[in-house]
């Protein structure tokens, strides 16, 4: 397993002679790889246009170096609560500290990626923009804040930015900007835009009958696609919406489904569009605002008056519920205008290629709930994967590499894995990998779920690993098997002195699963352990845990 080098210097070429100061440095702050992808595309285009360019991950970039740069682009994604991605914590901190240098000479541009249904939309990109401006740097083009369907806007922005950079370099005279004739970049043939059609081999429920949570184990065949992945990577899934739900929406607004609309210059029936091209299993505040404006409907308009109420409502409803509230007829274009383009969903891969070769395994929890009026609703991707994909036979997929969730390079390094619920998935991959590599490092797994009897995911596998010695320890927390709640963080705290010992021996800590509560509570437990076992002040304990994060010894894959 190689943590691929993230710094790629521009290949020197006789064609491109610029003064050493005339290089475009592209820095990416990326969590799951989207920002990295945009940065790579920009780097590729820059080189093709003859602009000397350098690509670097934020954690491999020393903030001080900015004082030596002439042109910098930052591509930044944002974590849920507006925090920077793990690989950019240090740079983000540095730029707002007293140590940050004056940057009057610097030209820069920022592209931010985010999700507009979150309150702190694109916050990290906004922060970088603010920090750089405060330090005196000049924006070359306006910052672009992209939503989840960012491809087209990001691509236009890349073009605009490079045109600007090219002008700067040419105007300064000493840089001769000549396109490099280069061979196409060696990237995987299958990407988000051109996914692989993988056969679904197995889809099996792995929670018991008594469980109210339906969790499934899925296995896909990668055939001869040549697709490669590493433990910690994610699988991108293009899903199809439930045709019955699409029909319910059509009936609700008074359409028969054959009406034609245009998508990317192509004519498509509105029914097909609802199934394959638009999000219909979620809603969001903008959608409700747009629909209220379009229909001048009182119920919707009332909803939009308070921001918090609107956000809560949007979080708990699907398009069909919003349309039911509005109770209006729409033509196909009007319906299209309030919908958001469908984006693929990412699932942490639950297998290692060292063990399963041409397969990918996933652990998928079916999102299912009853909305306020009692109607049953299911998640788009989880509903598709667990209820409809087997009948269809194949799924459009791609691998999304995740540099921020990787096993230690050194096989002797001990690891602590904390993965309640479906958060267990990547740790199945980690353990398969470590077994195949005969890695000697100790492995400690924390798992939690509702009940031992019905929700102990992959129980038999863990028992075998304990027996063979691959798993050094395992601690479980079944929250509903006794009167009081017991969660993984309680188990961590019970084992505080051993956890501290492992950390002192260089252990890496991995957390996967629920971001809202679990990951925060586990984070607090780790600080508590550092404070009490390491005899540190609360502040020093926090610093200690933050340092672990910066050193990549504490990695999270939370959602
Ligand atoms: P609960 O549903 O019984 O409260 C996997 O979903 C497991 O995570 C379940 O046992 C669930 O418990 C538990 N869980 C819920 N909130 C949690 C939290 N704040 N920290 C850790 N685990 C939590």
Tokens 């918090």 sit on residue:
308
Distance CA 399, CA 348 (A): 10
| Pairing, β 24-29 against β 71-77 | parallel
pLDDT by residue, tens only, the chain of 559 residues: 333 333 333 333 333 333 445 899 999 999 888 899 999 999 999 988 889 999 999 998 999 899 989 999 999 999 878 999 989 999 999 999 988 999 999 999 999 999 888 889 999 999 999 999 999 999 999 999 999 889 889 999 999 999 999 989 988 764 456 554 433 333 468 999 999 999 999 999 999 999 999 999 999 999 999 999 999 999 999 999 999 999 999 999 999 999 999 999 999 999 999 999 999 999 999 999 999 999 999 999 999 999 999 999 998 899 999 999 988 999 999 999 999 999 999 999 999 999 999 999 999 999 999 887 888 899 999 999 999 999 999 999 999 999 999 999 999 999 999 999 999 999 999 999 999 999 999 999 999 999 999 999 999 999 999 999 999 999 999 999 999 999 999 999 999 999 999 999 999 999 999 999 999 999 999 999 999 999 999 999 999 999 999 999 999 999 9
Q: Using the structure block, give the residue that is written with the tokens 């290949």.
A: 11
| CA–CA separation, 505 and 492 (whole Å) | 17
Instruction: Give the binding-site residues of ligand 1, using a 6 Å CB cut-off.
Output: 420-421, 448-450, 479-480, 485, 487-489, 517-518, 521
- Rounded to two decimals, the pTM is 0.80
Q: Report CA 183 to chain centroid distance, whole Å.
A: 30
CA of 379 to the centre of ligand 1 (A): 20
Residue 517 Cα: closest atom of ligand 1 = 19
Instruction: Give the residue whose CA is nearest to atom 21 of ligand 1.
Output: 518
Distance CA 494, CA 479 (A): 15
CA 420 to ligand 1 centroid distance, Å:
7
ipTM entry: 0.93
CA 518 to centroid of ligand 1, rounded, Å? 7
Closest residue CA from atom 13 of ligand 1: 449
Radius of gyration for the alpha carbons in the chain, expressed in angstroms and rounded: 25
Q: Whose CA is nearest to atom 17 of ligand 1?
A: 518
DSSP conformational letter for 8 = B
């Amino acid at each position: 397993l190689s943590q691929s080098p993230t710094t790629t210097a521009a290949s020197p070429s006789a064609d491109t002679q610029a003064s050493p100061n005339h290089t475009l440095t592209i820095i990416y702050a990326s969590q799951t790889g989207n920002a990295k992808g945009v940065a790579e595309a920009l780097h590729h285009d820059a080189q093709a246009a003859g602009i000397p360019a350098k690509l670097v991950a934020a954690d491999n970039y020393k903030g001080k170096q900015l004082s030596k740069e002439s042109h910098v682009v930052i591509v930044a994604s944002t974590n849920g609560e507006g925090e920077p991605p793990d690989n950019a914590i240090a740079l983000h901190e540095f730029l707002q500290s007293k140590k940050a240098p004056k940057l009057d000479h610097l030209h820069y541009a920022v592209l931010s990626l985010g999700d507009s249904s979150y309150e702190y939309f694109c916050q990290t990109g906004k922060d970088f923009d603010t920090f750089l401006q405060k330090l005196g740097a000049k924006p070359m083009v306006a910052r672009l804040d992209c939503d989840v369907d960012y491809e087209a806007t990001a691509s236009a922005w890349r073009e605009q930015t490079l045109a600007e950079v090219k002008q700067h370099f040419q105007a300064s005279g000493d840089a001769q900007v000549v396109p490099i004739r280069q061979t196409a970049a060696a990237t995987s043939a299958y990407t988000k835009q051109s996914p692989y059609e993988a056969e679904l081999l197995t889809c099996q429920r792995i929670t018991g009958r008594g469980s109210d949570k339906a969790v499934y184990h899925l296995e896909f065949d990668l055939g001869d696609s040549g697709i490669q992945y590493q433990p910690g990577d994610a699988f991108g899934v293009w899903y199809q919406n439930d045709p019955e739900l699409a029909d319910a929406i059509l009936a609700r607004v008074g359409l028969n489904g054959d009406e034609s609309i245009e998508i990317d210059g192509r004519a498509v029936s509105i029914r097909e569009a609802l199934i394959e091209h638009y999000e219909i299993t979620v809603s969001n505040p903008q959608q409700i605002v747009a629909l209220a404006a379009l229909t001048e409907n009182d119920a919707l308009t009332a909803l939009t008056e308070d921001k918090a109420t609107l956000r809560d409502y949007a979080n708990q409803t699907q398009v069909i519920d919003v349309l039911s509230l509005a109770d209006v007829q729409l033509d196909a274009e009007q319906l299209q205008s309030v919908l958001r383009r469908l984006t693929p969903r990412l699932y942490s891969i639950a297998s290692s290629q060292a063990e399963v070769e041409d397969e990918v395994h996933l652990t998928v929890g079916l999102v299912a709930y009853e909305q306020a009026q009692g109607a049953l609703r299911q998640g788009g991707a989880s509903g598709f994967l667990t209820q409809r994909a087997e009948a269809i036979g194949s799924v459009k997929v791609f691998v999304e590499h995740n540099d921020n969730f990787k096993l230690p390079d050194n096989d002797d390094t001990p690891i602590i894995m904390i993965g309640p619920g479906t958060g267990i998935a990547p740790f199945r991959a980690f353990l398969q990998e470590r077994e195949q590599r005969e890695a000697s490092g100790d492995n400690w797994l924390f798992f939690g779920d509702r009940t031992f009897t019905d929700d102990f995911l992959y129980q038999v596998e863990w028992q075998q690993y304990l027996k063979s010695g691959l798993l050094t320890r395992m601690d479980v927390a079944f929250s509903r098997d006794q009167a009081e709640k017991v969660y993984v963080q309680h188990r961590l705290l019970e084992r505080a002195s051993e956890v501290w010992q492992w950390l002192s021996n260089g252990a890496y800590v991995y957390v996967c699963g629920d971001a809202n509560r679990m990951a925060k509570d586990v984070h607090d437990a780790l600080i508590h352990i550092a404070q009490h076992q390491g005899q540190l002040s609360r502040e020093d304990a926090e610093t200690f845990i933050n340092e672990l994060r910066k050193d990549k010894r504490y990695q999270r894959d939370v959602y």
